Amino acid sequence: MSQLTEVAANPYADELAAAKKAVSLAARLCQRVQQGILQSDIQSKADRTPVTVADYGSQVLISLVLKKELPSHSFSMVAEEDSEDLRKDDAQQILEHITSLVNETIANDDSYNMSLSKEDVLAALDGGKSEGGPSGRHWILDPIDGTKGFIRGDQYAVALGLLDEGKVVLGVLGCPNLPSKSTNKHNGSSSGDQVGSLYFATIGCGAKVQALEGSEPQKITICSVNNPVDASFFESLEHSKRDLTSSIAEKLGVQAPPVRMDSQAKYAALAQGDGAIYLRFSGKGYKERVWDHAAGSIIVTAGGMVKDASGNDLDFSKGRYLDRDRGIIATNRYLMPMVLKAVQEAIDEEQ
């Protein structure tokens, strides 16, 4: 397809190009930090979850690139991180470190001739405070999803979505440690597959993958397994109710052991057919955030389905939290009815 035809066929072509550029640049910063991560690069947030210099740096770079690439667009972003902790007196050193990481990443890429001050960094972070909602356009950003995996040296994802009138219309997932075909050995490449991929989808245009460093995009397809006995399932390594997911798997007759992986890399792996089902059930009372699912879910729904435990589509139009019934299930259209039935039975038994 010529570039002109592609632009005509995809109303979000400009936004997609900008989002891919932003995520690629942020992923480069993350890769550099992950290779030599130190204890001093990691902080604990008020909710006791970890955040690193790379989470902050990634969010700054992405908001910067989106503004530079789409100067005529109004800018609203719902993002995970903010500047509050970095404005404290004891955070000056880490703020300086983030600022130099961002400036070095920009300098190593020939696109922009600019240098940010610490104040610019703080202001860029606070550009992510939008509440989103049902009207207008809002970027949804998780600058590093799976921070715990990132710190451990495992899977993580840079996840950027676009919400338009309450619907996710575009998603880009940068997965620096995910092989683009087999994720069975998800800590590295075992079969010569490309490691480090950019997955993306725009509404109605299918999902594709390309190398993070740039290559011709390839279509990806979700697996077509229709017998759960032949299916395998993904779950979170850190946040999964394993008694419930194993009960669901047992009811389905799933034989393979669960594949436990951090971050929205699970959505990417599912979308490229590495497994058949993703089950996400976390502890009671935990409210899922939109940035943990926006990009990943549109990459899966290009060929498959993502539902809550009652079989409803996820509703991203309610602000920073996802409005949903318990649990999130992603799979192909053949398995979804069977998985939903098993989910209901397992939940009923649990009560």
- Closest to Mg ion by CB, 55 vs 347, is 55
71 binds, among ligand A3P, Mg ion, none (CB under 5 to 8 A by kind): none
Instruction: Specify the residue for token string 């900008």.
Output: 18
DSSP 8-class letter at 45? -
Radius of gyration of the chain (CA): 19
- Closest to Mg ion by CB, 16 vs 141, is 141
Do you know the residue count of the chain?
351
Shortest CB 208 distance to ligand A3P, Å:
23
Tokens of 155: 């899977």
Sheet of 157-164, strands arranged across: 77-79, 137-145, 157-164, 167-179, 195-202, 207-211, 218-219
DSSP 8-class letter at 279? E
Task: Check whether 145 is labelled as a binding-site residue.
Answer: yes
Phi, psi of 40 (to 5 degrees): -70, -10
- Closest to ligand A3P by CB, 260 vs 307, is 260
List the x/- string, 59-98, binding to Mg ion by CB under 5 A.
---------------------x------------------
**Is position 15 an interface residue for Mg ion (rule: CB under 5 A)?**
no
283 binds, among ligand A3P, Mg ion, none (CB under 5 to 8 A by kind): ligand A3P
List the x/- string, 145-174, binding to Mg ion by CB under 5 A.
x-x---------------------------
- Closest to Mg ion by CB, 154 vs 292, is 292
Tokens of 196: 């480090």
Spatial CB neighbours of 333, under 8 Å, sequence gap ≥ 6: 304, 305
Q: Is 100 left (phi over 0), alpha (psi -120 to 50) or beta?
A: alpha
Q: Candidates 223-231, 280-288, 291-299, 335-343: pick the segment binding Mg ion (CB under 5 A).
A: 291-299
Which residues does the annotation mark as catalytic?
55, 147
Annotated binding site for Mg(2+): 80, 142, 144-145, 292
Judged by the rule CB under 5 A, the positions of this chain that interact with Mg ion are: 49, 80, 142, 144-145, 147, 292
